[in-house]
Amino acid sequence: MSLPGTKLGNDVDTVGIIEIACHKVSGGNAQGEALVTREPISFLGTVDPETGKVVDPEHELYGRYVAGKILIFPGGKGSTVGSYVIYQLKKRGVAPAAMVNLKSEPIVAVGAIISGIPLVDRVPSSLLDVEAGTRVVVDADKGILKAHLKAPSDGRDLRSEKTF
């Protein structure tokens, strides 16, 4: 059984394709591998605008690159300059392909809008449990996110009511 706003499709290589209704903040669509954190991101000081590398040693994603990823995180925090860091990432070709928030706030929203990066929010918090590398498709214009889920190593059934 799926939660409201989700559908489970069939896919031979995966447990299923979860389709989630979401809210468009910045239009467009993208697909790629998920890069997921349960920690908010302050783009100023956390992500190097030259390389797209997470440089804050205190952050869960330290040492990882956001370039071309579907960056899934609760929301932004910190300085409004973070919007311009997102813009710099885009101009240098090292920005995420799309961003997904539980609840977007103005810093990330403005950064995504001025950079032309798809951004959606109002997704279930269980999306933060998606494994890094999971294939994700974001269609912000239609308000749809799809995640191609694999069976977890601990044997849980991701189609259960307690996941998405």
Q: Tell me if 108 sits within 8 A of 99, measured CB to CB.
A: yes
pLDDT (0 to 100) of residue 1: 29
In order of start, what are the domains of the chain with their CATH numbers? Answer: 6-149 (3.50.30.10)
Whole-number Cα distances in Å, 38 to 28, 102, 131: 24, 10, 12
70-73 vs 6-9, strand pairing mode: unpaired
pLDDT (0 to 100) of residue 88: 98
Residues pairing with 26 in the sheet = 119
Q: Tell me if 147 sits within 8 A of 50, measured CB to CB.
A: no
pLDDT (0 to 100) of residue 16: 80
Full-model pTM: 0.84
pLDDT (0 to 100) of residue 152: 57
* Residue-wise pLDDT tens digits, 98-144: 999 999 999 999 999 999 999 999 999 989 999 999 999 999 999 99
- 3-12 CB burial, b ≥16 within 10 A, e <16: eebbebeeee
Active site residue 79: yes
Quickly tell me which residue has 């954190």 as its tokens. Answer: 37
Q: Among residues 51, 39, 124, 45, which one has the least CA distance to residue 76?
A: 39
Q: Tell me if 34 sits within 8 A of 42, measured CB to CB.
A: no
Low-confidence ranges of the chain (pLDDT < 70): 1-15, 150-164
pLDDT (0 to 100) of residue 149: 78
Q: Tell me if 143 sits within 8 A of 122, measured CB to CB.
A: no
- Annotated catalytic residue within 2, 26, 42, 79: 79
Cβ neighbours, 10 Å, residue 101:
26
DSSP-assigned letter for residue 142: T
Maximum alpha-carbon separation in the chain: 45
